[in-house]
Amino acid sequence: MPGSPWSAEVITATVDRSLARLRTDHLDVMLLHTCDREVLEQGEALGALVRARDAGKVRFVGYSGDNRTGAYAACLDDVSVIQTSVNLCDQVNIDEVLPTAAEFGVGVMAKRPIANAAWKDLNDQPGFYARYAETYTERLALMAFAPEDIGFEESDWAEVALRFTLSCDVHTAIIGTTNPDHVLANIEAASRGPLPEEAIARIRTAFEEAVEDAGEEWAGQT
């Protein structure tokens, strides 16, 4: 769509296009995806979504992003939903974004909740997804963590990853898949509830120690 992606005109047109494509009269949630703080402060982009909300086209307005910008967005009066990366390889938003979201009563959608299956060999990841998963794969190797460390089996990676994310202060998690069996397995894993506190502590410690060893901040991944 021509024009600045953060202009009121483009955002309004995007909302209308989505309504037409989905053949519906409203969108439950509409997010600004990864714009920087300056765009949020200028207000044009967010204002366009607010007007769409006031017109009944959108129920909840939100922001998708991470780190300090995600925390800033969670403070804004018109932001009702935050989508942010939360997983065993991406824990900065647990401390950076989630407390602010809780303080301001903002709903949290966890993206990348199973860390892009970082336990898999990158050569086994399909197409462009290997590049997408590379950072988490490198992080997990440095964390030196495995499900067996907390009493699970090696085959339980997906369950451990999902239940860790759901143990955090989030309201839902977005898991992409093309396999219906994985959907059922994820539902079953989620039904078992949060991980035990000692398991959560072990994963958090593994992350913190790996960051210290790496000698650089592991920022939230968009």
Q: Are 42 and 35 in contact (CB under 8 A)?
A: no
Model confidence pTM above 0.75: yes
Output the pLDDT for position 86.
99
For residue 3, pLDDT beyond 80 = no
Where in the chain are the domains? 65-214
Question: Which of 142, 145, 178, 138 lies closest to 161, judged by CA?
Answer: 145
Average pLDDT estimate for 124-141: 89
Tokens standing for residue 117: 């299956």
Output the pLDDT for position 45.
98
For residue 125, pLDDT beyond 90 = no
In tens, the pLDDT along 44-102 reads 999 999 999 999 999 999 999 999 999 999 999 999 999 999 999 999 999 999 999 99
The CATH code for residues 65-214 is 3.20.20.100
| Rounded Cα distance, 46 and 118, in Å | 34
